[in-house]
Chains A and B, each alone.
Chain A
């Protein structure tokens, strides 16, 4: 056994070198015409051949290195882990981090603005709080809202962004025409979106699966087209701008010109970062509200009915569950959270236009729910952070311009990233990051321990 172990790494390296060589050969053959040569027009409109040997060499080298690392290190490591797991044959007790993951994550999110300001200064933290923090949390909230419809009730909704639009436009329009404050309009936007959820829900009650998906997709487009074409009210494709900022419950505001501007009240240097920090905590609170409501609902009759509906509609009916109201509540509660997120979005941007509510947004939110693992709040939050954070990170990768030329804009490749992530996750974890479902029923209620932290398998 010892002898085998000794010779293993050398064998691995030889094998990896050989594999890397073949991969390089293959990629050279593939990319030679695709990448190495490019046809373009010169100034006299003639077709010329541009040779890009440097780029070709980079790509081939990249493929070889990745293949080498994969065969030499990653594969054996995976094998060893598998063997180790099989040998020990004991379910490992989850360690401290994984046991308290959600608590730690919330703690991190609460101190995140402080970390950002300490690390990159008051103005430098703007990017981290706004582009990363707020942006990711908006998608977390949207995905958690959609999770109620898709993950729990099992109703495939491809037009979820419509409710987001309803929320955003309710705030924008009611704030614009009637001058109502955000704190009044936030619940109103939620109620309006929920109302539209019911409106959509009624005609599609009898539909399931693919048919439902098509109709919801159409609904999303209808809402967007109405927003574009109802110019008298929505100002068409130009959108609505000058949406008022949110005030801190009227105590102080974030407009420099106001007498109770926060910096004047607290005697701080003037900066736009306060408003962003305020927005960050606001969306964090909204997210936590969504999570809390979802967790509570899952333990209530209506939440159980949603999950049962996802599993088997016919069985549900024969158990006396009214599937009509069950579906409608799922639609409207999911829509309500999209409405909240929408009005927050409008307040944050200060501008809404139909362009923000295109189909691809629905697709991204759905992708986050599927990647995260349908029904799992933590998985979905991780997926949102990876997907949206990853997209934002692409903007930071300016060094790629050195490799791919100055015209290369990494953020245009975000869909490629999405696709890649989808394929990888579906290969390794077909049920998403967190694929296992937390049971909600236990034989003897344990009132002292929150059930979301108790592990599976007791009772």
Chain B
């Protein structure tokens, strides 16, 4: 492994047609860290996540992962570098069973470690084991999110990207999922890059955080610092906490 951050985003600009969504974003994710991006609707959080995966492509700037420039790589080749993603809206395969969904996640190694890894996922999310033959589309929202994360883990990732895992879930389930992420990071030293609207939960979980406003990173710091920062509190916590 090269020295320096595992994932390095330098001056990335992304456009949808002529509309600029990211305006020169710089983000570092070091190995073993949980890093979170918080921001309001339309700030460009999901765009950043998708730009890392090459669709849409960055029009300017550079993204390097583990020393490799991935800015212009096709999506599936980026995934083969062991970056796994639980995308926005979860995107599980609705007509396939839970086990088949997990199998799809393990396609990179052609199911070599399947039995072993599936047990790990079931230890992390016992609920999935109960639903093993159920179709993905018939799961509850929380279970689908667990499946989406589980599927990403089946690829034995070096970096896990999570796009709003708390979206539309009950607080108790959110807590469970955040707990699972913390657990993964602690026991398996998994690097996690987390995009969240639930700023409070995300900052409490993360080692470091970035605040994204209109396609610009306006603030960054440790999770604790950001949590106590009065500006962040005003914009994302006290207003958003209801």
Binding site for B on A (CB under 8 A): 301, 304-305, 307-308, 311-312, 314-323, 437, 439-443, 456-459
* Contact B104 A319, beta carbon cutoff 8 Å: yes
* Contact A439 B92, beta carbon cutoff 8 Å: no
* Contact B103 A318, beta carbon cutoff 8 Å: no
B242 interfacial contact with A, CB 8 Å: no
**A322 to B94 CA separation, bound complex (whole angstroms):** 20
B window 65-111: CB within 8 A of A: 74-77, 79-80, 84-85, 87, 91-97, 99-100, 102-105, 107-108, 110-111
B146 interfacial contact with A, CB 8 Å: no
* Contact A321 B133, beta carbon cutoff 8 Å: no
* Contact A315 B55, beta carbon cutoff 8 Å: no
Residue of B nearest to A318 (CB): B85
Interface centre among B53, B103, B110 (most CB of A within 10 A): B103
Contacts of B85 in A (CB 8 A): 318
Interface of A (DSSP majority class)? loop
Choose from A308, A443, A457 the contact partner of B104 (Cβ within 8 Å). Answer: A308
* Contact A457 B133, beta carbon cutoff 8 Å: yes
* Contact B75 A308, beta carbon cutoff 8 Å: no
* Contact B95 A437, beta carbon cutoff 8 Å: yes
* Contact B92 A304, beta carbon cutoff 8 Å: no
Contacts of A443 in B (CB 8 A): 99, 118, 132
Apart from A307-B95, A318-B75, A457-B133, list 12 A-B contacts with CB within 8 A: A314-B87, A315-B93, A317-B74, A317-B75, A318-B79, A320-B77, A321-B76, A437-B96, A439-B99, A441-B97, A442-B99, A443-B99
Contacts of A440 in B (CB 8 A): 100
Contacts of A319 in B (CB 8 A): 76, 79, 84, 104-105, 107-108, 151, 155
* Contact B133 A320, beta carbon cutoff 8 Å: no
| Known contacts A318-B85, A439-B100; is-contact A311 B107 (Cβ 8 Å) | no
* Contact A321 B107, beta carbon cutoff 8 Å: yes
Q: How far is the CB of B38 from chain A (nearest CB, A)?
A: 22
- 23 A-B residue pairs with Cβ-Cβ distance under 8 Å, sorted by A, are A301-B107, A308-B104, A311-B95, A312-B92, A315-B91, A315-B93, A317-B53, A317-B55, A317-B74, A318-B85, A319-B76, A319-B79, A319-B107, A319-B108, A320-B76, A320-B80, A322-B76, A437-B96, A439-B97, A441-B102, A443-B118, A459-B132, A459-B133
**A212 to B100 CA separation, bound complex (whole angstroms):** 27
B window 98-145: CB within 8 A of A: 99-100, 102-105, 107-108, 110-111, 118, 132-133
Contacts of A456 in B (CB 8 A): 133
* Contact A320 B99, beta carbon cutoff 8 Å: no
**A457 to B102 CA separation, bound complex (whole angstroms):** 17
**A457 to B84 CA separation, bound complex (whole angstroms):** 29
Residue of A nearest to B102 (CB): A441
**A319 to B75 CA separation, bound complex (whole angstroms):** 9
Contacts of A315 in B (CB 8 A): 87, 91-93
**A314 to B50 CA separation, bound complex (whole angstroms):** 10
* Contact A441 B103, beta carbon cutoff 8 Å: yes
Q: How far is the CB of A314 from chain B (nearest CB, A)?
A: 6
**A409 to B100 CA separation, bound complex (whole angstroms):** 51
* Contact A308 B96, beta carbon cutoff 8 Å: yes
Q: How far is the CB of A442 from chain B (nearest CB, A)?
A: 7
* Contact A311 B96, beta carbon cutoff 8 Å: yes
Contacts of A307 in B (CB 8 A): 93, 95-96
* Contact B133 A304, beta carbon cutoff 8 Å: no
**A54 to B231 CA separation, bound complex (whole angstroms):** 88
